[in-house]
Amino acid sequence: MKSQLTALDLHYLLKELRQFISAKVDQIYCPSKKEIILQLYLTNVGKKILMIKAPDALWLADVKPEIEKISGFCKTLRKYLGNSRLEEIKQLGFERIIEFVFEKQGKYSLIFEMFSKGNIILVKDKKIVAAAEYQKWAARTIRPNEEYKWPAKEFNFLELKLNDLKQMFSKTNKESVVKALAIELGLGGEYAEEACRHAKVDKGKKPNELNADEIKKILTAFSELKKKHIADIVHRFKTGKEIPLEERRYLKNVEEMERIIAEQRQKIKGLEDAEKENKRKAEIIYEKYSLIKEVIEQIKQARKRYSWQEIKEKLKGHKLIKEINEKEKKIILEL
């Protein structure tokens, strides 16, 4: 288990998200610096809410949380992506990077870097338009008008051949097979260990000590990993007898998000209940409109001759009129 999604997790998740290709962007929200909510509308499906928090999580929600402020970055995203169409969702290489391609008088890419500190970057024609956070490394810079470059690994897990795997093991400086698989291929610890178990290879063995048969078995084990489904990811983050600290922090974040969603659902239910009650009252008023109008006219006529106190005395025991509040100008009827 990991506190962040692995490249393989993203590979599975994107298979599910591609159902939203051709959806229209209704609105964009930014609850925090590196968090985006895409409110999408898909013909014959309806509204969908996609939430992405770089570098930690990606999920679909039933309702969006309340957003008080709109950041400058969010305004920029709305300017360029509002009312656009989602044309493509892809993973860059086999990296923890997702690219959403939108069409709106030209193509724009919204790129989510789900590694290290994470980032969200708007790109057009390979040039950076804006980013949630401007960053600089020796090999690349995230800043407006810079060309967007993503850090690609030498070996792509999804396209790996036997000779590639042999070459990777021969070149790596990692001290164990499991670390080489986890880091050089971007599988992450758990999937790397699972590959070793399937292949029946000692995960602690030095990469340069592997024989040809063991390398073949590891490559065969990759086929099993590629067959996984989105449900395996959910299971991976929700089970385990002992959960390390970093996973507990991740699950705590998930629980907080679920709490917020539950509160929103409760608010919606309250509004729906209030709507039903007000609708019921409106129907009663409509049915009794003539009677209500007659009572109001009687009060108006009486007011020409009597004081409010006298009117109240005369109406004691009235079948319909239960209270008169002259200060607030209210007449309470029981229908």
User: Which two three-digit tokens encode residue 38?
Assistant: 């895409």
DSSP label of 122: E
Residue 259 is predicted with a pLDDT of 64
Q: Give one word for 88, left, alpha or beta, with left for phi > 0 and alpha for psi -120 to 50.
A: beta
B/e letters for 300-317, b = 16+ CB within 10 Å, e = fewer, are eeeeeeeeeeebeeebee
Give the span between the Cα atoms of 329 and 326, in whole angstroms. 5
DSSP label of 140: -
Q: Which of the residue ranges 106-110, 115-119, 158-162, 250-254 would you say has the lowest mean pLDDT?
A: 250-254
Which option is the CATH number for 7-142: 2.30.310.10, 2.40.50.140, 2.60.40.10, 3.30.70.1140? 2.30.310.10
Contacts of 258 (CB under 8 A, 6+ apart): none
Residue 228 is predicted with a pLDDT of 67
Q: Average the pLDDT over 113-124 and give the result.
A: 95
Q: Which of the residue ranges 53-62, 113-122, 124-133, 305-314 would you say has the lowest mean pLDDT?
A: 305-314
Percent of the chain's residues with pLDDT above 90: 50
Q: What residue spans define the domains of the chain?
A: 7-142, 157-239, 288-335
Give the span between the Cα atoms of 3 and 249, in whole angstroms. 7
Residue 131 is predicted with a pLDDT of 97
Residue 63 is predicted with a pLDDT of 81
Q: Average the pLDDT over 31-36 and give the result.
A: 93
User: Which two three-digit tokens encode residue 20?
Assistant: 């939203």
Q: Band the pLDDT of 269: cuts 50, 70, 90.
A: confident
Q: Which fold has domain 157-239?
A: Helicase, Ruva Protein; domain 3 (1.10.8)
Residue 245 is predicted with a pLDDT of 46
Mean pLDDT score of the chain: 85
Q: Is the pLDDT of residue 335 over 80?
A: no
pLDDT digits over 138-186, tens only?
Answer: 889 999 999 999 988 889 999 999 999 999 999 999 999 999 999 999 8
SS3 99: strand
Q: Which of the residue ranges 213-217, 226-230, 255-259, 308-312 would you say has the lowest mean pLDDT?
A: 255-259
User: Does 293 or 135 have the greater pLDDT score?
Assistant: 135
Q: Per mean pLDDT, which of 101-110, 286-295, 306-315, 323-332 is the most reliable?
A: 101-110
